[in-house]
Amino acid sequence: MTDTRRDQLSDWANAELGKLLPGISAPLELEMVSGDASFRRYFRTKPGHDGLSTQSFIAVDAPPENEDSRRFVSICKLFGDAGVITPKVFAAEYALGFMLLDDFGDTIYLDELLRAQQRDRMDEADRLYGHAIDSLLSLQANVDKGRLTPYDRNELHREMALFEEWFCVKFLGLRLDDEARELIAETLRYLEDQAIAQPVVAVHRDYHSRNLMILDLQKFGADCGPGIIDFQDAVSGAYTYDLVSLLRDCYVRWSPEQVDNWALGYLQRAIEMGIIEPIESRQFLQHFDLMGLQRNLKVIGIFARLGIRDNKPRYLADIPMVIHYFLEVSQRYRSLTPFVDWFKQAVLPVAKTKLKLDY
């Protein structure tokens, strides 16, 4: 089958690059880089100029019926103005859903973190997380949260409800009676209450190791922070949301003690920078934990939906780590005991079979 949109994107990108770099040899080829959990696709093109290699670009296919490229460009500028590194947008055709961006390369944070973990190089992990937390603090300190949509109760609930609909019912095939549904509803309300009570900042909403890029030091400067991508769903919400996304990552796991250590390092800096008012460590870690549980339920539901509805089964392989986080943390809080007990009795046995869990 022909890929009509790819052909259209190629024609458009060639025309735009011809304006940016007069004298390039065209037509230029598009090399598939990746798709993601959305409908967007990314292609790399490397123009030649007077026979010499020049910088490469990323051409984005974001179908306008599914993706809001105007919002992408707006948030890109908003975050870039806050002092973090986001891709430069060289051209955009909103009606078609095409964009031409700076190329951050292929090395995501996850690759380097896993390498550091395998080699027991905690100094390298500390350095990477230090840069990521620095960039997060810049976002929280410098982005006008009033320009972002509130991460309100309705949105928090909509996300967590995916756990019941897509994971429990559609993936596991559970038959939920009225008592189970009410228990789920009470738990969601509790986690919503905890989230909306926290101080409000700008929230990336998916701040983790697959959305942070290791950049070319020659191009971006020695010891630069990460390149930040996939920010178009940014909102204003709880100050711990992005931090727990980063430190209790769905794709790489660290010891609870190490996670708390990095989190408390963030806390000290956030207070010093005036992002939040002084707060006791114990209260902060409770904020951190409960916000993480909201995200856990959301992500379990999203990954199940990606596997079932969107035919992307690779995301199912990431659910076990999220369940591990959920059980590890939720058992610390007495208010969640009824839900945890139900989860262990009704959900976990089926999940163990479907996902081949080893716990």
246-300 pLDDT, tens digit per residue, is: 999 999 999 999 999 999 999 999 999 999 999 999 999 999 999 999 999 999 9
The structural domain count of the chain equals: 2
Give the residue from 102, 117, 140 where a domain finishes: 102
User: Is residue 1 very low, low, confident or very high in pLDDT (cuts 50, 70, 90)?
Assistant: very low
Within this chain, do residues 166 and 267 fall inside the same structural domain, yes or no?
A: yes
Whether residues 97 and 128 fall in one domain: no
Query: 73 and 122 share a domain?
Result: no
Does 172 share its domain with 288? yes
Q: Where a domain ends, among 81, 102, 123? A: 102
Please, are residues 287 and 198 in contact by the beta-carbon 8 Å criterion? yes
Domain boundary among 53, 79, 102: 102
Question: What's the average model confidence in pLDDT over 334-356?
Answer: 97
Domain of residue 49 covers 4-102
Sign of the Cα torsion 293, 241, 164, 317 reads: negative
Q: How confident is the model at residue 5 (pLDDT cuts 50, 70, 90)?
A: very high
For residue 179, pLDDT over 70 is answered with yes
Digit-coded pLDDT (tens) for 43-55: 999 876 544 446 7
Q: Same domain, yes or no, for 268 and 130? A: yes
Contact at 8 Å (CB) between 54 and 25? no
Specify whether 67 is located in the same domain as 139.
no
Backbone angles phi, psi at 309, to 5 degrees: -75, -40
**Closest by Cα among 240, 245, 212 to 113:** 212
| Rounded Cα distance, 44 and 42, in Å | 7
Q: Are residues 242 and 169 in the same domain?
A: yes
CA torsion, ordered 77, 83, 86, 90, to nearest 10 deg: 50
Per DSSP, the chain holds a count of helices (H) and strands (E) of 13, 11
- Percentage of the chain with pLDDT > 90? 85
Structure letter (DSSP) for residue 254: -
| Residue 288 near residue 244, CB atoms below 8 Å | yes
What is the C-alpha to C-alpha distance for residues 131 and 327, in angstroms, rounded to an integer? 29
Is 240 found in the same domain as 134?
Answer: yes
pLDDT of residue 222 exceeding 70: no
Residue 240, pLDDT score: 98
How many whole angstroms separate alpha carbon 5 and alpha carbon 48?
24
Counting beta carbons within 10 angstroms of the beta carbon of residue 56, is it exposed (0 to 12), middle (13 to 18) or buried (19 or more)? middle
State the CB neighbour count (10 A cutoff) for residue 35: 12
Residue 203 scores a pLDDT above 70: yes
296: closest CA among 325, 274, 272, 275? 325
Tell me the C-alpha distance between 267 and 243, whole Å.
Answer: 10
User: Any idea which of 102-106, 141-145, 298-302 has the lowest mean pLDDT?
Assistant: 102-106
pTM: 0.93
CATH of the domain at 77: 3.30.200.20
Supply the Cα-derived Rg of the chain in whole angstroms.
Answer: 22
Same domain, 265 and 188: yes
What tokens were used for 331? 């058992």
CATH number, domain of 297, equals 3.90.1200.10
Q: Is 97 left (phi over 0), alpha (psi -120 to 50) or beta?
A: left
Give whole-number Cα distances, 150 to 158, 200, 201, 308, in Å: 14, 9, 10, 29
Task: Let me know whether 96 and 131 are in one domain.
Answer: no
41 and 80 in a single domain? The answer is yes
Shared domain check, 121 and 86: no
